[in-house]
Amino acid sequence: MASRARPPASPPEGPTSNRQLDPPSLVQLAAGAIRKMILSGELGPGDRLIELALTERLGISRPPLREAMRLLEQEGLILVQPRRGATVAALTDRDVYEILTLRSALERTAIELGVPVRLPERLAACREALGRMERSAAEEDRAALVESGYAFHAALVGLAGHRRIEDIYSSLHRQLLLCMARNLYTRERYYEDLDVHVARHRHLLELVEAGDPAAVLAELAVHGERSFSQLADRVPRAGKRS
């Protein structure tokens, strides 16, 4: 029975729980390892995840592995069918549509809630990410630009200090990476002009610093429009399939 008598020994305080300092459990490690296998393409969409095979691969036993798979299921990376095993999520066009629309909605909400920014360190995070983008563009490192571009958007979302939004946002990002591994989310697209791309983000940050949420949202709508265009075309009529 749970002990009601005991008051919470450690204060569950702290908007940002720093679990990084704790020695990671096998569950965390296993989840990370499998995530890496999936996102690197080592495991393709639809592939079965055999528990026994993975335990041998990772050198752990089944209980922590199973718990790790529960996590990945919640993250949307794998699909667990009650007694038929787990498979790597095979994202449909509909799934991509859901991910992109939800991601956009979260960004918008975060801006609305956080844009007259109160905590300077959050703005600093955005600037830092923008700096990485500029460096990546200067070096014409497109992979790094994509990476830092996400970091910038994540920092933008972080302006609101809304932990739940941040968590979901990063979860969606992982699923999006899954799409890229699948090449559904065409990789060749990238960005036509690196400098224009960075400039657009710089402008975005300037609007944020000016403290005008509406302007940021307007820019963000145009901003995202290019990324969405070809994906949006794939699912012109939302909900038609179910």
Interface residues toward DNA, by CB under 7 A: 1-3, 7, 9-10, 23, 25-27, 48-52, 59-64, 66, 82-86
**Residue 161 contact partner, candidates a copy of itself, DNA, none, CB within 5 to 8 A by sort of partner:** a copy of itself
221: left (phi over 0), alpha (psi -120 to 50) or beta: alpha
CA distance 210 to 134: 21
- Give the footprint of a copy of itself on residues 17-36 (CB under 8 A): 19, 22-23, 25
> Which of 18, 188, 222, 237 is close enough to bind a copy of itself by CB under 8 A?
237
Strands, E, within 32-84: which ranges?
A: 48-49, 78-81
Structure tokens at 74: 């919640």
| Residues 175/75, Cβ–Cβ less than 8 Å | yes
Question: H or E stretch including 128?
Answer: helix 120-138
CA distance 113 to 107: 10
CA distance 183 to 175: 13
Does residue 55 touch a copy of itself according to CB under 8 A?
no
**Residue 154 contact partner, candidates DNA, a copy of itself, none, CB within 5 to 8 A by sort of partner:** none
Provide the binding-site residues for a copy of itself, judged by CB under 8 A. 1-4, 6-10, 12-13, 15-16, 19, 22-23, 25, 43-44, 46-50, 53-54, 56-57, 63, 66-67, 70-71, 74, 76, 79, 81-84, 87, 89-90, 92, 94, 98-99, 101-102, 105-106, 108-109, 113-114, 118-119, 160-165, 168, 237-242
